[in-house]
């Protein structure tokens, strides 16, 4: 086993940045309840609102359009589960559209909504993971209330033309939710320019601790509350706010440099692709115009899980699919959606890099993967 472990799964989660970690530790002393009227509570409230302003500004939103929650998964659930209340109140049919490559927090929630007689359809994508516009138009129904389409995919890195999609949906009076978890910090995000109604975010994808997320809401009048209790987050998300986590989230946002990130991770991926081309046959499944840090690669003649486990023994942390499906022997729904055969699907690895990944790391990663693939193919 190598002396140094190399982390290649930044799309699953990121190591906490040292400056974020330092501030988070200090923020643990800000223990007041932000709903309290006395000084200790007011201090917490001030930190809460400062963070809200910083994060909202980064995505070009107003501070009163952002609420904090526990995760991107919760944010996604909040938007989708709103339609249970709408269905029960209106007694009218409800239909939702989502892309075939959404995160499991969207797809699983949609499946659960069927218990409430809420119907949904999945929009097909092309071989690059981009929405098929004509198919989307065909799937729209008179009672379609929401479209949920992620900005950037966690497995293959494809980036959607959200502005075009929102325009189409709004022409049919369809609200638009966008999962922005993988996009934050990697590409520019302007919620006003994109004209979306909702967008979900997660702190632990941008070098902050787990347990904190956010939801952009263009107009809170169209969304019901998910958690009942107190009046926190303008009554939309009851529960005492996670002040240290929110402060850490703010610091992580302040440290983001999209151009630097893109330049650095693009160089890493190009270097690895060049080295792995010697393993022919090898297939690169990631979108060529997608996230700069993401590589999804199929190695025919190898089982992806066996390959990942052997790489683990050599000191590489990498994934065979999204983190939420680790341990599953089922093929990736994302790779299936872009037309990959089961054999190529099950022989795939996902590598995602970040600011802590170096060119020297890439050379070691390539060496380990090449030797491991060569050995497994000879068995």
In the DSSP assignment, the letter for residue 155 is T
Q: Are 129 and 153 in contact (CB under 8 A)?
A: yes
Smallest CA-to-CA distance from 266 within 362, 181, 161 is with 362
Q: What Rg value do the Cα atoms of the chain yield, rounded?
A: 21
Residue the block writes with tokens 């037309």: 339
Residue 161, φ and ψ in degrees, nearest 5: -85, 80
Task: Characterize the bridge pairing of strands 198-202 and 348-352.
Answer: unpaired
Burial of 211 (0-12, 13-18, 19+ CB in 10 A): middle
Alpha helices in the chain (DSSP H): 18-27, 39-58, 72-90, 104-113, 133-139, 162-171, 191-194, 243-255, 258-276, 304-313, 333-337, 342-345, 359-378
DSSP states of 250-301 = HHHHHH--HHHHHHHHHHHHHHHHHHHGGGSS-EE-S-TTS-TTEEEEE-TT
Just list the catalytic residues.
Answer: 324
Smallest CA-to-CA distance from 335 within 101, 20, 47, 70 is with 101
Burial of 29 (0-12, 13-18, 19+ CB in 10 A): exposed
Q: Are 106 and 148 in contact (CB under 8 A)?
A: yes
Q: With b meaning 16 or more CB within 10 Å and e meaning fewer, what string describes 79-109?
A: bbbbbbebbeeeeeebbbbbbbbbbbbbbbb
Q: Are 178 and 187 in contact (CB under 8 A)?
A: no
């Amino acid at each position: 086993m190598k002396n140094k472990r190399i982390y290649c799964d930044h799309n699953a989660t990121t190591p906490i940045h040292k400056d974020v970690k330092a501030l988070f530790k200090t923020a643990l002393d800000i223990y007041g309840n932000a709903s309290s009227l006395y000084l200790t509570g007011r201090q917490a409230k001030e930190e809460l609102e400062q963070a809200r302003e910083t994060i909202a500004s980064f995505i070009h939103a107003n501070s009163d359009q952002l609420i904090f929650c526990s995760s991107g998964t919760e944010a996604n659930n909040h938007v989708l589960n709103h339609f249970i209340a709408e269905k029960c109140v209106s007694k009218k049919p409800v239909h939702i559209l989502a892309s075939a490559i959404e995160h499991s927090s969207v797809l699983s929630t949609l499946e659960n909504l069927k218990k409430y007689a809420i119907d949904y359809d999945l929009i097909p994508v092309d071989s690059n993971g981009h929405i098929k516009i004509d198919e989307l138009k065909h799937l729209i129904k008179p009672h379609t209330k929401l479209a949920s389409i992620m900005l950037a995919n966690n497995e293959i890195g494809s980036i959607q033309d959200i502005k075009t999609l929102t325009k189409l949906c709004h022409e049919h009076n369809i609200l638009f939710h966008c999962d922005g978890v993988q996009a934050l910090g990697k590409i520019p995000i302007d919620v006003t320019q994109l004209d979306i109604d909702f967008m979900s975010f997660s702190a632990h994808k941008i070098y902050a601790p787990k347990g904190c997320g956010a939801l952009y809401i263009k107009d809170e009048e169209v969304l019901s509350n998910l958690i009942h209790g107190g009046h926190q987050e303008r009554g939309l998300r009851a529960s005492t706010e996670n002040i240290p986590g929110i402060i850490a989230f703010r610091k992580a946002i302040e440290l983001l440099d999209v151009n630097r990130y893109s330049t650095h991770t693009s160089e890493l991926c190009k270097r690895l692709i060049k080295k792995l081309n010697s393993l022919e046959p090898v297939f690169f499944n990631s979108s060529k115009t997608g996230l700069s840090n993401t590589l999804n690669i199929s190695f025919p003649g190898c089982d992806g899980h066996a390959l990942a486990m052997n790489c683990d023994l050599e000191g590489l942390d990498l994934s065979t699919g999204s983190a939420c499906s680790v341990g599953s022997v089922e093929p990736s729904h994302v790779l299936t959606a872009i037309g990959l055969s089961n054999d190529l699907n099950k022989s795939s690895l996902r590598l995602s890099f970040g600011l802590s990944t170096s060119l020297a790391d890439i050379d070691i990663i390539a060496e380990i993967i090449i030797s491991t693939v060569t050995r497994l193919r000879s068995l």
